[in-house]
Amino acid sequence: MHEPLVQIARDLEIRMEFGEAARAEVRAFGANSGIDAPGLEDLTALPFVTIDGPTSKDLDQAIFVKRSGSSYGVWYALADAAHFVPTSGALFEESLLRGASYYFPGFSVPMLPRELSEGLISLNPRVDRRALVFVCHLDERAAVERTRVVRGRIRSRAKLTFGGVQELYDDPKHSPLAAEPYAESLELLREVGEKRLALAEGADVVRYRRREIEVKLASPEASSGKGPAAEAGFVVLEAARLGVEAYNEQISVLVNREGGRLLSESRDPRLQPIYRVHPAPDPEKLEALRALTRGLAAVHRLEAPRFVLHEGESLNAFLRRLPSRDATGEGTSRITRAIERQAVLVNMRSGFSTEAARHFGVGAEVYARFSAPMREVVGIFLHKEMLELLRLEPHAEDAVDAALRERVVEAANRGRELQRRVNDQTNRLVLDQLLSPDLAQRERPARRGTVMGITASKLHVELDTPGLDVKVYVRDLGKQLGGVWLDLVHDGAALVRRDTKEPICAVGDDVDVRVVSKDKGQDRWVLAVSRRGPQGLSIA
């Protein structure tokens, strides 16, 4: 493992080892997995497949889609983690201490031992596995008509990748998947996915056109000194999001909505459901965004009807009408990208709660996170609650279960925050790797980027290549200009010199970023920023 990344895990107190009691439970399940339990519905005849990233080993979900006249049937199988991790056992206690699995470039720290998460529980191909299966009947628009949930036995036919399935969609004549017995199911996944996306659009669910950035460790050849990235350690990759990923996500959202609905509609007082909630944007933040868009329209001389968020207008409607191309038609508009980034910041963070409430991000009245039972402790607990609802498992004692639910919510929310901190600290390592060589150069290279936001203390710039975010501090810019004060104007749209009102930069600007120095005392980079080309600003 990469030692600096391992140190991040240690500093964040992420548990990397499992106690002997948990190991003993794993060994017991290795001797008897319960795959032949008589209560399991036999679904092994259905051609399920898993669709994941190429390096995924913990396979939580498998899917099969069937047409029925003008309607559809969707079978979505989720790994039966609740069977292997009962809430009274040591494995569940270990899961509570972790909260979730954690992902670093090149490795992960699993919530469950790999013998389970990549073995007995994982929906690996060509072996029978236990699963909690959502069977959703959809109408011709792919709207839900009814859903039932069963505990079953499935056999995945193949471990597919997003890229491989997308190749089938793009060029079926040359795809090896076209001749497979599950090819029709994959085609129907696209059909249902497109219709579910249309339903989301009709419900005014916000869809962001964000860049997909992934940090990976450099290849072994590079790290051993045989390639151009020999001393790099990290590589930053960017790829367009594939259609199949959006379709797969829509089915996951569908199942989580249905699971939340079934739990919320139950009148059984013994159930202890947990919901994923996402409040709508705060009105004050929306007003600040509206003011910012007015400022941007003024300083960039933009058409106000197109670029300004109107009173009472939804975020989705506003973002849909922004231009996707710049004035030359060659690339995504930098101003549009910056506005979308600001719209993301307007959103409240989602979290887990014991109270049912709307999930603004997916447009659901109730939403419960069933779809990651091996990677989130809340998934294990929710599976248990669903099994109790279906009367497939006895109810736990009320007081004990209520106290446990509170611990699960706390652990799940803590896990989400920890992954954010992992990402932030990893990105700092990547940025150090990128910028450190510049210090040895007399002519510091310029890195092109876009100003995504400005506050009183810093500029947030997204580099074009690699697609990382950097912070440029306002006080550093003032010192570089001879010790002048800089002011934020037009409701945060632009930064100007206080003395002459000369514009320094504005949100959405095309800029160059250069390294000035490294402030080791505060462990931060001192950067300079300059606007590119004839970008006229109106700072009246």
Domain boundaries, the chain: 3-278+350-430, 441-531
Q: How far apart, in whole angstroms, are the C-alpha atoms of residue 461 and residue 457? A: 13
Is residue 476 within 8 A of residue 526, CB to CB? The reply is yes
Taking alpha carbons only, the member of 133, 39, 27 closest to residue 89 is: 27
325 by DSSP, 3-state: which?
A: coil
441-531: which CATH topology? Answer: OB fold (Dihydrolipoamide Acetyltransferase, E2P) (2.40.50)
Is residue 133 within 8 A of residue 77, CB to CB? The reply is yes
Tens-place pLDDT, residues 406-451: 999 999 999 999 999 999 999 999 999 999 999 999 999 999 999 9
Side by side, the strands of the sheet bearing 128-138 are: 41-42, 144-155, 128-138, 71-79, 61-68
Q: How far apart, in whole angstroms, are the C-alpha atoms of residue 143 and residue 385? A: 25
Token pair for 539 = 């700072």
Mean model confidence pLDDT for the chain = 92
Q: How far apart, in whole angstroms, are the C-alpha atoms of residue 202 and residue 511? A: 37
Cα separations in angstroms, 93 against 86, 185, 273, 352, 355: 10, 38, 19, 19, 23
Find residue 529's DSSP bridge partners: 513
At residue 296, what are phi and psi to the nearest 5 degrees? -65, -40
Q: How far apart, in whole angstroms, are the C-alpha atoms of residue 462 and residue 431? A: 12
Cα separations in angstroms, 427 against 48, 96, 342, 430: 37, 27, 20, 5
Low-confidence ranges of the chain (pLDDT < 70): 1, 219-232, 326-332, 534-535, 540
β-strand pairing of 41-42 with 144-155 = parallel
Cα first-last separation, the chain: 55
> Where are any strands of DSSP class E within 53-113?
61-68, 71-79, 102-104, 107-109
Cα separations in angstroms, 232 against 173, 469, 479, 492: 40, 18, 32, 37
- Predicted confidence at residue 185, as pLDDT, reads 98
What does the H/E/C string look like for 378-419? HHHHHHHHHHHHCCCCCCCCHHHHHHHHHHHHHHHHHHHHHH
Find residue 147's DSSP bridge partners: 136
Q: How far apart, in whole angstroms, are the C-alpha atoms of residue 85 and residue 87? A: 6
Q: How far apart, in whole angstroms, are the C-alpha atoms of residue 152 and residue 202? A: 35
Taking alpha carbons only, the member of 504, 497, 538 closest to residue 297 is: 538
Task: Count the Cβ atoms, other than its own, within 10 Å of residue 437.
Answer: 12
Contacts 24+ apart (CB under 8 A), 20-25: 21/90, 22/89, 22/90, 22/91, 22/93, 22/94, 22/113, 23/113, 24/90, 25/89, 25/90, 25/91
- Predicted confidence at residue 538, as pLDDT, reads 74
**DSSP state letter for 436:** G
Q: How far apart, in whole angstroms, are the C-alpha atoms of residue 452 and residue 448? A: 13
**DSSP state letter for 315:** H
Give the burial string for 340-351 (b: 16+ CB within 10 Å, else e): bbbbeebbeebe
Q: How far apart, in whole angstroms, are the C-alpha atoms of residue 246 and residue 265? A: 28
Tens-place pLDDT, residues 136-172: 999 999 999 999 999 999 999 999 999 999 999 999 9
